Copies of this chain bind each other. A is one copy, B any other.
């Protein structure tokens, strides 16, 4: 099946978690908004008054007759179809639970630079962003990273570099993206924390080294991190702590 994927052009953002799944699986997908005229096509799709199941926001996916919104929901669907999730109900629920926890971390990361309103510029909420980032670095980063390190440690079948069982699944790809994003946004803090989370670093390296992911990361399909996405580098928000 050819998948039509809709997400903002110009940023990795939440869409990147889905792109990584497509790329790892070698799936046939079109990143609609990155095609000529594609942004207009995405807006048309979002504003389609005939749609009986309207989407709230990108990303969303067209898979045959299905139109699926919400990042974690898209991955829940694709996980089975792309061979990136366990086959049993228990495993699928566990994969989704991990992905939803990753989504929570993504939300909190976004709010480090936008603690007052996503509709305002960062420059209009710098003071509050500094306060929120301090708590994020000191409290929330260790809490989330410690959790995923713990999940890895308790999965002996994964050898410390798979979150679920002995094989790669979509939460591994998302954990890679979390590490890449946090290293970009908070390089000083991540360097200070690194020794405590060796298994998370191993997942990052394993995913980065998968042939299709390595090719993707080296291609122009991988949009560089920048100051428009979820993970943003503002040196004044980083710190060793």
Interface residues of A (CB under 8 A from B): 51-56, 65-66, 68-70, 72-73, 76-77, 89-90, 93-94, 96-97, 100-101, 104, 107, 111, 115-117, 119-120, 128, 131-132, 135-136, 139, 147, 150-151, 154-155
A73 x B90 contact (CB < 8 A)? no
Residue in contact with A66 in the complex, picked from B70, B90, B100, CB distance below 8 Å: B90
Are A132 and B117 within 8 A (Cβ)? yes
Which residues of B have CB within 8 Å of A51?
Answer: 154
Q: List 18 A-B contacts (CB under 8 A).
A: A52-B154, A53-B94, A54-B151, A56-B101, A65-B90, A66-B89, A68-B93, A69-B101, A70-B101, A73-B96, A76-B96, A77-B93, A111-B115, A115-B115, A115-B116, A116-B131, A117-B131, A128-B128
Chain B positions within 8 Å of A116 at CB level: 115, 128, 131-132, 135
Q: Check A115/B96 contact, CB under 8 A, given A90-B66, A147-B54, A154-B51.
A: no
> Is A70 a contact of B97 with CB atoms below 8 Å?
yes
Shortest distance between the CB of A125 and any CB in chain B (Å): 8
A147 to B53 alpha-carbon distance, docked (Å): 11
Pick from B56, B68, B147, B155: contact of A52, CB below 8 A. B155
The answer to whether B93 and A115 have CB atoms under 8 Å apart is: no
Q: For the complex, what is the distance from the CA of A101 to the CA of B117, rounded to whole Å?
A: 18
Which of A94, A111, A116 has most chain B Cβ within 10 Å?
A: A116
Beyond A65-B90, A111-B111, A154-B54, is A96–B70 a contact (Cβ under 8 Å)?
yes
Distance, CA A93 to CA B93, complexed state (A) = 14
> With the chains together, A116 CA to B133 CA distance in Å?
8
Neighbouring B residues of A104 by C-beta, 8 Å: 56, 107
Chain B residues with Cβ below 8 Å from A97 are 53, 55, 68-70, 73
Residues of B within 8 A of A56 (CB): 101, 104, 147
A241 to chain B, nearest CB (A): 14
Q: Are A150 and B115 in contact (CB under 8 A)?
A: no
